[in-house]
Amino acid sequence: MSKFDTLITQLCPDGVDFLELEEIGDFYGGLTGKSKKDFQDGNAKFVTYMNVYSNITIKTDINIFVRIGKNEHQNRVEYGDVIFTGSSETPDECGMSSVLTEKIPEPLYLNSFCFGFRLRDKDLLLPDFLKYLFRDDIIRKQIGQTASGVTRFNVSKKRFAKVKIPIPPVPIQKEIANILDKFTRLEAELESELEARKKQYEYYRNALLNFDDQEIDWKTLGEVCQKIDKIKWKDNQNTDFQYIDLSSVSRSNNKIIESQTVNSTNAPSRAQQIVNNDDVILGTTRPTLKRYSLVTSKYHNQICSTGFCVLRANQKVVLPKYLFFILTTASFNCYVENNQEGAGYPSISNNVVKKFKIPIPPLSEQERIVSILDKFDALVNGGDSVSEAGMTGSLPAEIEARRKQYEYYRGKLLDFKNKSNG
């Protein structure tokens, strides 16, 4: 019998209590009354939306500041607080959590697009246990049900307060955190190796696509891309389409990983653009999330969200995959960062995207560049091209296997019996 099983047998053989969040803690909001100027010359650190969304623990090595007056009252983030995102493009991505698991000497504030939860009894639940609990599928399912919306989904704080969580004895919390920390460290080691590969790939990609010292034509994306059509739902009332939303595109490998079936009766208002094979789609809502992908034949003549800019290459001038690789370069990412608008929920317009100028070498040179970058991309993102290129060892596949193993054990460890159910 494992140490964990022994603890369960000794400390809670009949199960554990499940309590609603409002029974054990209180919610608080983020920054209020702030203008754009307050974020240009700040004196206090604050936690951004992406800090919460991307990490199970709050990153405290922050270099983003906000101006806080001497007598100004704003809520501070404290050790053990759980921070949640308040809204997203899909209900599944609402209420993503992150926990402050370390004590820091300086004040720390919270952006206005997130909200915090603080235990009344901070000894009740360990921060290192909470960071895993609120990311588990069972709790995430409850949280997803607190969100509502059409094109954008927002969490209902009233429903969120009714989310029920297990309250196991502290020794069991500690053991679960220890077990899952080991999985996390193993995955982090693989991620570190993959990051090194990515940096090498990015170096060669930027070098191959750097034509600054060569005499070559430069054209805007608008000049080398063709017009796309929009769906007329009244003419397609009996037809089902696959719909590509922002969450359909994986940020880790730039592939479309899922879609949903829609028709004229249930299609979201943003389901308007018709995409074809070899179109390049780029998420223009929170564009620094880098949701871009090359549309495959599976999604030819299907529908995508207006949250994407659709780039259909004029193949007499530019290859679709060459165009896709251009969007992954540092120069394009820098252009996006400098031209997005909106502090809390930034976006970039299609017209601005299409003003970006790209080098246009001969098609034969584009083919050569694509062939080289395909091999690097295979090492970084995996896929069939790994074996085709004569290479072995797909780190993404190994990381994915580790992740599935971790999620399996996390689900098992956090699946407590409810004491009140007998």
Q: What is the distance between the alpha carbons of residues 68 and 74, in angstroms, rounded to a whole number?
A: 8
Strand partners, 261: 242
Whether the predicted pLDDT of 386 surpasses 50: no
Confidence of residue 422 (pLDDT cuts 50, 70, 90): low
What is the pLDDT of the chain when averaged over all its residues?
89
Q: What is the pLDDT of residue 46?
A: 95
pLDDT at 375: 84
In tens, the pLDDT along 46-76 reads 999 999 999 999 999 988 999 999 889 999 9
Instruction: Please spell the DSSP secondary structure of 405-417, one letter per residue.
Output: HHHHHHHHHT-PP
What is 307-375 written as a DSSP string? Answer: TEEEEEE-TTT--HHHHHHHTTSHHHHHHHHHH-B-SSS-B--HHHHTT-EEEE--HHHHHHHHHHHHH
CA distance 103 to 57: 12
The domain 217-360 is placed in CATH, from the list 2.40.50.140, 3.90.220.20, 3.40.50.460, 3.50.50.60, at 3.90.220.20
Range scoring the smallest mean pLDDT among 106-115, 285-294, 384-393: 384-393
* pLDDT score for 387: 38
pLDDT value, residue 210: 83
pLDDT of 394 reads 66
pLDDT tens across 5-32, in order?
899 999 999 999 999 999 999 999 999 9
Q: Is the pLDDT of residue 392 over 60?
A: no
For residues 387-398, give the mean pLDDT.
54
Residue 245 has pLDDT above 60, yes or no: yes
CATH-assigned architecture of domain 17-167: Alpha-Beta Complex (3.90)
> Predicted confidence band at 391 (pLDDT cuts at 50, 70, 90)?
very low
Mean pLDDT score, 128-135: 96
pLDDT tens column, 184-221: 888 888 888 878 888 888 888 888 888 877 788 999 99
Segment 393-407 mean pLDDT: 77
The mean pLDDT of 137-164, rounded to a whole number, is 91
Q: Beta-carbon neighbour count of residue 328 at 10 Å?
A: 18
- 418 pLDDT above the threshold of 80: yes
In whole angstroms, how far apart are CA 389 and each of 12, 199, 320, 321, 348? 54, 20, 21, 17, 37
pLDDT number for residue 390: 37
254 Rama class: left (phi>0) / alpha (psi -120 to 50) / beta: left
Q: What average pLDDT does range 82-109 have in this prediction?
A: 91
